[in-house]
Structure formats: C-alpha cells, structure tokens
Structure 1
Amino acid sequence: MSMSISPTMLRIEALRQIRNPYTLAFTLGMPVAMYLLFGASMSYGSMSMGHGNVAFYVMVSMAAYGGAVAMSSITSLAASESKQGWGRQLAMTPLGTVGYAMTKLVTAVAFAALAVLAVFAAGMLTGAETTDAWRWGASAGIILGLGLMYGLYGLGVGLFFNPDTAAALASISMTFFAFFGNVFMPLDGVMLDIARFTPLYGFVSLSRWPLTDGALTTGQTDPLWAVVLNIIVWLALFAVLVAAGIKRSRSRR
C-alpha cells in the first residue's frame, strides 16, 4: 500500500527549494523588495486607501504575486520530473505517484505561505495598516486558497517545456503577468483595460478586496462579478493547458 505523503521527502524537497536561487529570488526576495520599494519607502504609503492605507494595498499585491510564483514554479518542477520517468520509479516505492504529487503540493503551499508571511511581516514592521485585524487574515486566506490555481499553470508549463527551463519560465512569466496585470504599479486608461484580461488581475484584485471593496487607485471600482469571472476563465484555461500538456507529453513517448 502506497504512502500518501513522505515526511522525509517533504524535508528534502523543502531544503532543495531553499537552496534553489530561483525560489529564493522570485518567491521570497522579489516580493519583499518590491513592497519595500513601492510601498514602505514611498511617502504615499501612509495615505488612506479603502479600509487602511496604500502600504497595505501594495503589501497584499506583492504577497499575492509571491504566492502565485511559489505555486507555479514548484509545480512546474513536479511536472518536469514526472516527464523524466519519476512516475515509474515511484511506482516501485512505498510513496507512489499520489504521495509524490501530494508532497510537491504541500511544498508549494508551504512556500506560498512563507512568501505571504515574509511580505506581511515586512508590512507590519513598516507601517502597513488596516482598520480591522481580520482583514489581514482574509487577504492571506484568499491568496493561499486561490493561489492553488497557479499550481495548474505550473503543471502546464512543466509538461510543455524541458526541466532546465520550466521553473524559471514559470517564475519569469508570472513576473511579466504582474507588470501588465496592475500588480506592481497602478495602470490607467487602455493599459488598465488590457490588464483586466490578464491571468493575475482577478486573483490580486480579490486578494485586495478586504481592503478596497473593489476600488482602484485610479478612482474606478471593479464589480465583484468581473473579478470572479476573470478567475474562473483563467482557471479553466490553466486546466486546458494541463490537459494539452499531458496529451503532448504522452505523444512523445
């Protein structure tokens, strides 16, 4: 009978990711640095925004970005390893394929939580404020819950590309989506209209919802249905990407 999860492999995976420069740079280092640069160090950080201040707004945005990168990069590695024959190897061990997948998923969620914790800790130390304590937990919960959808994106990338580039591509593409998705800097006009169709827009907007109730820095307000629709559409597209990746990887055998 196969094991559902292996504590030993979980520990090895955690140490492996900690030693991975891409994980440290994109998952932990960059979100904290971006928050400090665009939130804590700016004079507008203390300005009022929704149920708190601008620093809190930027903090949630960067935490959401870090969580999405963690999920996508680590699951892309899992898919790449599976293509290299890990599934057949694991079938002969007590862990099994399901246990391997669960271990990878737990690792991804743990690093997403670590990214959120790192950015939120920086926010607490540098003046990020909101009117109610529960808004901190609500934003963190949305990030970690919905962030699982980027695990599907990572799987799709891992199935389509070779193991040497999959994780880096997943991280870099998420950074690209963040720049054009109203995550790193406030967009307006045509750029904001384009941003509403990008993969991170709905996810980050909903993560900010406990603070903003959908309000944007431009004075506009996103309706909840539009934000949720963005999430649903991209979730479906990521699922299609995974299905196509599985079909492609099987055709190569």
Structure 2
Amino acid sequence: MAGTLALTRAELIRLMRNKRYFIFTVMLPVVLYLIIGRSVKATVYGVSFGAFYMVDMAMLGAFSGALNGNAIRISQEKKDGWIRQLRLTSLPAYAYVVSKVLVSMVITVTSIVIVFLLGRFFGNVHLSAWQWLVTGIVVWFSATIFAALAVAIGYRIAPDQVQPVTMIMYLGFAILGGIWYPFSGVLGKVSEFTPTFQGVKIGADIIEGTSVAAGYAIGLVVWLAIFVALATLAVRSTGETV
C-alpha cells in the first residue's frame, strides 16, 4: 500500500506540472464562469442560472480532468514501457491503475472547490453547508467515474490516436450532456441518459431542495459499472499481450 501511495504522489506532482491539463481542468471552467455566470438572468432546472452554471462548470472541469489527464498519459506510458517496468518491481499489479484513479479523485476535488468558491463569492450563490457538501460530492462522483473510461482508452488506443479519441469522448459527453447548453425536445431526452447531465441535474435538485429522481442516481451507478468493465477488459487484455 505504501508503494501505491508513493506512486500516486509522484503521479500527482507530474500532473500538476502539465499546463494543458491545468487549462482544461481549472482555467477553462473559471474563465467561462467569469464571462457567463452573472450575465444570464434566468432559471435552469428550477435554480438561478448562476447556481446552475456553477455546478455545470464544476462538472466540466472535473470530468475533463478525470478523462483527459489520464487517457493520453496512460497510452504514452504503455508505449514507452513504463507499465512493463512497474510490473518488474515489488509494486502490486493494481498499483498503476489505482494510482491513476486516486490522482483523478484528488484533482477533481480541487477543480470543484475552485469553481464553487467562484460561484459563492463572484456568482453570489448562497447555499447551506449541507447543500455545498452534498452537491460537491455528487459532482465529484459523477466526474470521477470518467477515470475508469480514461484507463480503458489509454490501454486500448495507441498514442498517435488517443488524443482525438479522448477529445471526441470529451466533446460528446460535454455537448450531449448539456454542459455547453441545456437541450430540449429530443436532444433533451438523449441528454438525460448521460452521466454529465445526471450529475448536474442531481446537483440542481439538491440546490432547489426538491427530491432527486432515483433514475439519475441509478444511471450514474450504471455508467460507473460500464466504465469499470471496459477498463477491466482493457487492462486484462494488455496483461495477456505485454
């Protein structure tokens, strides 16, 4: 366990030095909230636009960090032989994947806290202590499940192809999930099946003080199971061929 935590710490330090990762995870949501957060006077999902957009941008930064930061690096490290080298050490077989997931869990928390602070002091979003906490946990869980998808992509896709594949996934879940703009009609119905929408909608319901639809919570668990299954298959396949 100590070796896994040491590897996690090293991964976290390396990731924090990645400027591209910092831009997508922190800077983009912050800039968008500063530009748009107070400019729209409307309600979305029963809450003020400022509160909705705060949850929206927290989700954008958090799930972007969990997905983009891991997939590209895993693919490159697999090609470079880093994963093979780790297997020759005394570290347990699961240490590499666990370290990636743990780093995602830490980074997503950082992104969420920054955006929430911006919402509170710039967007004038006022919530009770439990609403801040529970909404943050919901966004954190909804975003962290993408770390499993990142593992699946990183193990399966070659380095020269992983960036466009990851970007397609990122844009797909962001756009279809209504992160950039909430949909209505047919697209709105499609959005409801995405984990990005489900996380934001649950967060909005918590802020509004209404009951949370069980279907959205179940949906997040289903997506987690799907992503974990894909990651498990990818890792096992690689273990058989590397």
Instruction: Classify the TM-score, shorter chain.
Output: 0.7 to 0.9
Q: TM-score, normalised by structure 1?
A: 0.79
- The equivalences for 1:173-212 within 5 A come to 173-212=169-208
Residue of structure 2 equivalent to 1:75: 70
User: In 1, Cα distance between the equivalents of 2:8 and 2:229?
Assistant: 29
Q: TM-score, normalised by structure 2?
A: 0.82
Deviation at 1:115, TM superposition (A): 1.1
Residue 55 (structure 2) pairs with residue 66 (structure 1): no
Residues 78, 101 of structure 1: 8 Å contact kept: no
Residue 241 in 1 paired to residue 230 in 2? yes
Question: Would you say the 8 A contact 1:67–1:144 is kept in 2?
Answer: yes
Contact 1:130 1:211 (8 Å CA) reproduced: no
Residue 83 of structure 1 contacts residue 159 of structure 1 at CA under 8 Å; is this kept in 2? no
Query: Which of residues 160, 163, 175 is equivalent to 2:159?
Result: 163
2:220 is aligned, of 231, 241, 248, to: 231
Residue of structure 1 equivalent to 2:12: 14
- Inter-CA distance 246–141: structure 2 relative to 1 (3 Å threshold): same
Alignment match, 1:44: 41
Q: CA deviation at 1:58?
A: 0.6
Gaps in structure 1 of 5+ consecutive residues: 216-222
Gaps of 5+ in 2: none
Matched residues, number: 241
Report if the CA contact (8 A) 2:71-2:162 is conserved.
yes
- What are the superposed Cα offsets for residues 117-169 of structure 1, whole Å, 9 maximum, x if unpaired? 22112212212413423211111111223433111111111122123553664
Deviation at 1:116, TM superposition (A): 0.8
| Corresponding residue number in structure 2 for 1:88 | 84
Alignment of 1:150 onto 2:134: no
RMSD of aligned residue pairs (Cα, Å):
3.0
Q: Secondary structure of the residue that 1:3 maps to in structure 2?
A: helix
Name the counterpart of 1:24: 22
Give the % identical residues: 24
Residue 139 of structure 2 aligns with an amino acid whose one-letter code is I
C-alpha change, 1:246 and 1:90, in structure 2 (3 Å) is closer
Equivalent residue letter for 1:5: L
Contact 1:181 1:195 in 2 (8 A): yes
